[in-house]
Structure 1
Amino acid sequence: MVVMVENHSLDQMRTQLPYTFGLAQEHGYATHYAALTHPSLPNYLAIAGGSTFGVTDDDPPVAHPVRGASVFGQALAHGRTATLYAEGMPFGCAREDGGERYGVRHNPWAYFADEQAACEQHDTTLAQLPADVASGDLPNAGMLVPDTCHDAHDCDASVADAWLRTELPLLMSGPDWRAGRLAVVVTADEDDHSQGNLVLTTVLHPSLHGVVVDTPLTHYSLTRLYDEVLGVAPLRAARRAPSMAQAFGLPVAGLR
C-alpha cells in the first residue's frame, strides 16, 4: 500500500511530519530517494507505470490518455488484486477534479486508457478502506491518495501528519498487517524545489526495525517494488531501477 503526500522535501518531512517520521525511525526510511520531475502528475504516472509518458503538466486524462499497463492492471492480469483509494472522489475512477478536494492529477489509474473498465471497478473512494482492512482484503497492489488538504498540498504539513496519524494505524490494525502480508510505503510526489527533489520515503513492515537506507532510489524503484511483490516483470524504466525490496531487506515473498 503506497500512501502519497505532496510537495515537501526530505528535510521538511522529517521536521514537519513528526508522527510519520517517528514511524520511519521505528521501521525504515530512505535518505536518498528522489522524485523524478515537477509537477505532480508525471511523478504519479511514473510510480504507477514506470514512465512519465512524456507528460510535463497536470492536465486531466482527456489530455493524456496513457496506453499500456499500470501496476494495477498488471495485478489484475495475473490474477491478483488492485485497489486505489482516493479521498474525496465523487465516484469511482473520476477523470475530472471535483467532489471534496479531489484532484484527478493525483489519481494515476484514471489516466490508463486501456484499463478504463478495471479502473471504474477498482478505483474507489476512501469509504471502502476500513472494511477492506478489517476483513483482511487489502489489495496486492494498492494506493491511498488523500484529498488536496490532507496530502499537504493546500494545507499545512501538520494537517497531513494528523491525517496519517489516523490512516496509518488503521492500515496496521488489520489481519494483513498482523500476518506480515502488508507493507506500507509513505512518500511524496515531489519536493517544493528546495532540496533537489529528495523526499522522505518511509517503509513500514513488522519485520523492519530502525532501517536507514542510503542507496539512491527513485519513484521507479517504487514501481519495481510493486512488481516484485506481484512477482511480475518490472514495467518500463523500473527494470533498471534499484530494488527497494533489496535495499530495505523487505521479504517480498511474504507480501500479498
Structure 2
Amino acid sequence: MSSKSSKSRGKSSSKGGAATPKSKSSSSGSGGDRTPNPVNQVYKSSGGQRNFMHSYGLKMHNHGDVEESKSIAEAFAKHDKKCISRDIQDPSSLILSTPEYPTGIPKSQSMMVLSGRSVAATLLVAAVSLLAITVDATPLWFDRIYVLIFENTDYSAAIADPNFSKWAANGKLLTNYHGVAHPSQPNYIAMVAGSTLGVTTDGNVNLSNMNLVDLLEAAGVSWRSYSENYTQLSSSPNCNLATTIGSATCPNSGSKGKTNLYARKHNPLISFTDVQTSSSRCNNIVPATNLAVDKANNAIPQVVLYVPNQCNDGHDPGVTYAGRFLDNFMTSTFTGNAITGRTLVVITFDENSGTSGNQIYTALVPFGSLSITVGSTDNTNFNHYSLLKTIEQNFGTGNLGLNDVTASAFNFP
C-alpha cells in the first residue's frame, strides 16, 4: 500500500476516529481465514460501550504522570491526524492493549494492560479528552461509494448482456474478480466482515463479530443499506429480522412461480447483533424507496449498500431482466443532486451460477471523478475482500484484521 493510501481519509468527529479493531466473538463460530492485524487495538468502557482507536498503536508507560500521559496522547494525535477524544463514562473500566508505539513515544517503556482503577488509565483518558484534536480529512479517491449487488451469474453471461456491457464500458471492468463461497449469504457477509465467519448456508444467522459499520461509524463516515421490499418495524429498534418479505411471480421466470422478493440472506448488515440491537443503526437499514427521499434531501450517505429484490437482481428471471433493471437504476439514480463530489458505483454479483472458479462480473463506474479511465479493464485477482479493503482505504477507517488485511484494494491512480 502506498504512503498516500495509508493516510487517514475518513471524516472525523469529536466522537470518533478511525479504527482498526479486533474481531469480536461470533455466535456462529469463527470460520473463514483469519489474518491477525499487528496493530489492532480495542478499548472498552462500562455498559458494553465499544470505542475504537486508530490503527497505528499506542502503549502506556507503567510509571507515567499527567504530563507523560499528555505527551503520549499528543504523539498519537500527531501520528493519526484525527479526533482522539472519546466518551468514556467510567475511566476505571478502561482496558487498553496494543502492540506498537506511534512516532514520538519512547520504545524503551513497557506496555501495560490497564483494568480496574488504574491511575495511569485515568490520566491517559483525561489527557486525550483535553486534547480533543480534530483534523478534517478528504477521502482518498471517492467522496461516496455505492455497492449494487446482483445474483448468481457467470462472468461470461453478465458481460455478454448489453446493459451490463454498457456500464462496464462507462467505467473499469474487473476481469478477474471472484466470489469467495457458495451459496449466496457467505458472500454478502464477506463483503462487510472480511470473512465468511463460518456461515455456510442461506439460513438466518446472528453474528456478534466486528463489521464494516463499526469501522465507518468510528471514523465518522455515514452509511445506509437500502433493500427493495424491506419494511421496518414500528417499534425501536426497528430492524425487521424476517427471513423474507413479500412475494411475486417475476417476469421471464418460466415455471418457477412466485418468489420471495426481500430475502434477509441478501441484507448482510442486519445479521449482526450490534446492528439489530441499535436504534440508530436500524434506522440506517431502510427500504429502497428511501433512496429517492434521501436524494431529494441531498442526504445520500458516504457508503451505500443497495440490494435489489429477487426479481430485479436476476435471481429468478436471469441476467437479461437484471440488466434492464441495472440500466434503469443507473440512469434514474445518478442524475441531478445525487452527484455531489466524486462518486463510485461498484456493480457486482454475489457468486457465479456454479461451483467452478466463481468468477463474477464487477464494474467500477465513476461519476465526477478522474480516478478511473473510462473503458479500461483490470486483470488483477480481486474478490469481495478487495471491495471491503477499498472502502476501508478510501475512508481511512483501518481494517477488521481478517481477510481484508491481505486483500488487494482496487487500483486507482
Is the structural similarity TM-score above 0.5? yes
- 2:262 counterpart of 1:107: no
Deviation at 1:179, TM superposition (A): 2.6
CA distance in 2, matches of 1:94, 1:151: 21
Q: Could you tell me which residue of structure 2 aligns to residue 233 of structure 1?
A: 398
Q: Could you tell me which residue of structure 2 aligns to residue 161 of structure 1?
A: 323
2:209 to 68, 71, 76: 68
2:377 to 208, 212, 216: 212
**Aligned 8 A contact 1:130 1:170 in 2:** no
CA distance in 1, matches of 2:275, 2:180: 24
Q: Could you tell me which residue of structure 2 aligns to residue 183 of structure 1?
A: 344
CA distance in 2, matches of 1:19, 1:167: 11
**Aligned 8 A contact 2:219 2:396 in 1:** no
- 2:307 counterpart of 1:145: yes
TM-score normalised according to structure 1 size: 0.89
- 2:148 counterpart of 1:3: yes
Deviation at 1:77, TM superposition (A): 2.6
**Aligned 8 A contact 2:189 2:268 in 1:** yes
- For structure 1, which runs of at least 5 residues remain unmatched after alignment? 250-256
- Residue 114 of structure 1 aligns to which amino acid in structure 2? D
Judged with a 3 Å threshold, the aligned counterparts in structure 2 of structure 1 residues 174 and 237 are, in CA distance, closer, same or farther, namely: farther
Deviation at 1:4, TM superposition (A): 0.3
1:78 to 210, 216, 219: 219
Q: Could you tell me which residue of structure 2 aligns to residue 98 of structure 1?
A: 245
CA distance in 2, matches of 1:145, 1:88: 10
Deviation at 1:194, TM superposition (A): 6.4
Secondary structure at the aligned position of 1:42 is classed as helix
Deviation larger for 76-85 or 133-142:
133-142
Secondary structure at the aligned position of 1:202 is classed as strand
- For structure 2, which runs of at least 5 residues remain unmatched after alignment? 1-145, 233-237, 248-260
Alpha-carbon deviations, 1:183-206, whole Å to 9, x = none?
A: 100000000116510001010113
- Residue 169 of structure 1 aligns to which amino acid in structure 2? T
Deviation at 1:158, TM superposition (A): 1.6
Alpha-carbon deviations, 1:1-32, whole Å to 9, x = none?
A: 1000000011010113x112211112111000
Judged with a 3 Å threshold, the aligned counterparts in structure 2 of structure 1 residues 93 and 157 are, in CA distance, closer, same or farther, namely: farther
Q: Could you tell me which residue of structure 2 aligns to residue 222 of structure 1?
A: 387
Deviation at 1:131, TM superposition (A): 2.2
User: Normalized per residue, which structure has more helix?
Assistant: 1
Deviation at 1:162, TM superposition (A): 1.3
**Aligned 8 A contact 1:88 1:102 in 2:** yes
- Residue 331 of structure 2 aligns to which amino acid in structure 1? P
Q: Could you tell me which residue of structure 2 aligns to residue 36 of structure 1?
A: 180
Deviation at 1:178, TM superposition (A): 5.0
Secondary structure at the aligned position of 1:233 is classed as coil
Judged with a 3 Å threshold, the aligned counterparts in structure 2 of structure 1 residues 202 and 128 are, in CA distance, closer, same or farther, namely: same
- Residue 7 of structure 1 aligns to which amino acid in structure 2? N
**Aligned 8 A contact 1:110 1:119 in 2:** no
Deviation at 1:234, TM superposition (A): 2.1
Judged with a 3 Å threshold, the aligned counterparts in structure 2 of structure 1 residues 239 and 174 are, in CA distance, closer, same or farther, namely: farther
- 2:409 counterpart of 1:243: yes
Overall identity of the aligned pairs, in %: 27
What's the RMSD between the two structures over aligned residues?
Answer: 1.7
CA distance in 1, matches of 2:335, 2:287: 20
TM-score normalised according to structure 2 size: 0.56
Output aligned runs, 1:123-134, within 5 Å. Answer: 123-134=285-296
Which segments of structure 1 move beyond 6 Å, counting only runs of 4 or more? none
- Residue 15 of structure 1 aligns to which amino acid in structure 2? A
CA distance in 2, matches of 1:125, 1:190: 24
**Aligned 8 A contact 2:218 2:397 in 1:** no
Deviation at 1:137, TM superposition (A): 2.2
How many residues end up aligned between the 2 structures?
242
- Residue 312 of structure 2 aligns to which amino acid in structure 1? H
Larger C-alpha radius of gyration, 1 or 2? 2
CA distance in 1, matches of 2:313, 2:389: 24
Q: Could you tell me which residue of structure 2 aligns to residue 253 of structure 1?
A: none
Q: Could you tell me which residue of structure 1 aligns to residue 120 of structure 2?
A: none
- Residue 148 of structure 1 aligns to which amino acid in structure 2? Q
Deviation at 1:148, TM superposition (A): 0.6
Alpha-carbon deviations, 1:61-95, whole Å to 9, x = none?
A: xxx21113221232123222110000011226322
